[in-house]
Amino acid sequence: MKDLFQIAVAEIGVKEIKGDKDTARIVDYAQESGFLNITDDETPWCSIFINWCCMKAGLQRTHKANARSWLTVGLPVNNPTPGDIVIFWRENPRSWKGHVGVFVGFSKDLKLVYTLGGNQKNSVSIQGHDAGKVLGFRKLSNEGNVEIPSGNPPLKVGSRGDEVKKLQKLLIDLGYNCGAVDGAFGKRTETQLKILQKDEGKNTNGKYDKDTMAMIENIFQR
């Protein structure tokens, strides 16, 4: 299987079409990675592109279109290597806006971070970004390492043990920050599970049962 960098590099040059027409390849990034409601090239697509690349590479992904969701997957690293993920803030460090791409390297003066990504000047390209706007670097692991809890018996508030730890890790990997992976199903885990269920159009009961297990299996098969 090709690695993340190879997959992203092969897409360099894909760019938006001005006006009413849409670039089919950009729409493909959204459709193939599970963003079925996105059918144009105008929607900000940097996170969509990275989700698509990670899907092709078999790596963890956020399944979310917002760039800052990448702060919740993988492991934080202080000394990134090419192929890691880099997340930037836009407009304001505390706003919801951001940008995400594949780390390429630093400029000699360390003022720029070169990033390979989508929606960079409306294209897949390598661009330099202000190093002062970096929110974090993440190293992704193989998505095949994900363990999905059985859902039998169902997990709910008050449940404890290794199956709860698996659920908490899954929620974090999917971009739902339930806090520490401590094996204790508390209100925070319940709240984040409800948000995931709502985002997927499912019954928001906050319980992890067979239906929720099937939902998560479907997410990882997209």
Residues 58 and 119 reside in one and the same domain = yes
**101 plus 132 within the same structural domain:** yes
Instruction: Grade residue 1 by pLDDT with cuts at 50, 70 and 90.
Output: very low
pTM above 0.85, yes or no: no
Range of the domain at 175: 146-220
CB 179 within 8 A of CB 193: no
| Per-residue pLDDT at 222 | 57
Q: What is the pLDDT of residues 61-109, one digit of tens each?
A: 999 999 999 998 887 888 899 999 999 999 999 999 999 999 999 999 9
Task: Assess whether 15 and 122 both reside in one domain.
Answer: yes
